Amino acid sequence: MILETKRLILRKPKMSDVDDIVEGIGNYDVAKRLLGAPYPYGKQDALKWLKKTIKNWSKKEKMHFLIELKSEKKVIGCMSLNEINYFNGVAKTGSWINKKYWRNGYITEAKIVVNDFAFNKLKLRRLESLVFTDNKASNATQKKIGYELEGVKRKAVKSKTTGKIYDENIYGLLKEDWVKARRKLIK
């Protein structure tokens, strides 16, 4: 399974991606926004995650697409569909990007093709994203893509990296709203 954009390839993880994953999640500023990422994040952590993630692909309940930058042939992040429920037609999205590649629009670009895949290929009707309330960049991305802020879960999650408890914004996107939002994004 490969999704492609002008600058990116989104694909199933491979064990050989381990060093790029350690580089990306091994940065404190990235790890602190991921619930399950310990810090420091090392090679054994990445190998464990890769084994689990590759296994999950066969179940089609969680799909972690690694984001490969075409110009560098390097994995720079991940865009995921989690808790995929085909009966209800819903899933949660999540992402991270190597700090060296922040503020280049890569997450927006990746999320567009993952949304298309979720709605058109998987035939889902709703996507949801949970974002720490203080993560300005991620909150802005959700709004830019067309997700609606539906509420706040107070003191909902604890970061494994920082040990701090965070509030989470709940964003939702319906298929019919994505059709309208996508037109504005793709000109």
Do 34 and 106 contact (CB within 8 A), yes or no? Answer: no
Do 39 and 32 contact (CB within 8 A), yes or no? Answer: yes
> Could you tell me which residues are beta bridge partners of residue 80?
64, 94
The two structure tokens encoding residue 85: 């429920």
**Mean model confidence pLDDT for the chain:** 96
Write down the pLDDT at residue 111: 97
Do 76 and 20 contact (CB within 8 A), yes or no? Answer: yes
Residue 19 phi, psi dihedral angles, 5° rounding? -65, -40
Q: Indicate whether 58 pLDDT > 90.
A: no
The two structure tokens encoding residue 43: 């090679």
Q: Indicate whether 7 pLDDT > 90.
A: yes
Q: Which helix (H) or strand (E) holds 59?
A: helix 43-59
- What is the rounded average pLDDT of the residues 31-36? 91
Q: Indicate whether 40 pLDDT > 80.
A: yes
Q: Which helix (H) or strand (E) holds 51?
A: helix 43-59
Place of tokens 């569909």: 81
CATH number of the domain where residue 10 is located: 3.40.630.30
Which pLDDT band holds residue 57 (cuts at 50, 70, 90)? confident
Cα torsion angle, 182, 126, 5, 35, sign: positive
Q: Domain residues for 126? A: 2-185
Domain count, the chain: 1
| Half-sphere exposure in the Cβ direction for 132 (13 Å, CA) | 18
Residue-wise pLDDT tens digits, 86-100: 999 999 999 999 999
- What is the rounded average pLDDT of the residues 96-109? 97
Kindly write down the DSSP assignment for every residue of 103-164, as one continuous string: TSSHHHHHHHHHHHIIIIIS--SEEEEEEETT-HHHHHHHHHHTPEEEEEEEEEEE-TTT--
Alpha carbons 62 and 60: distance in angstroms, whole number: 6
Which pLDDT band holds residue 182 (cuts at 50, 70, 90)? very high
Q: What is the reported pTM? A: 0.95
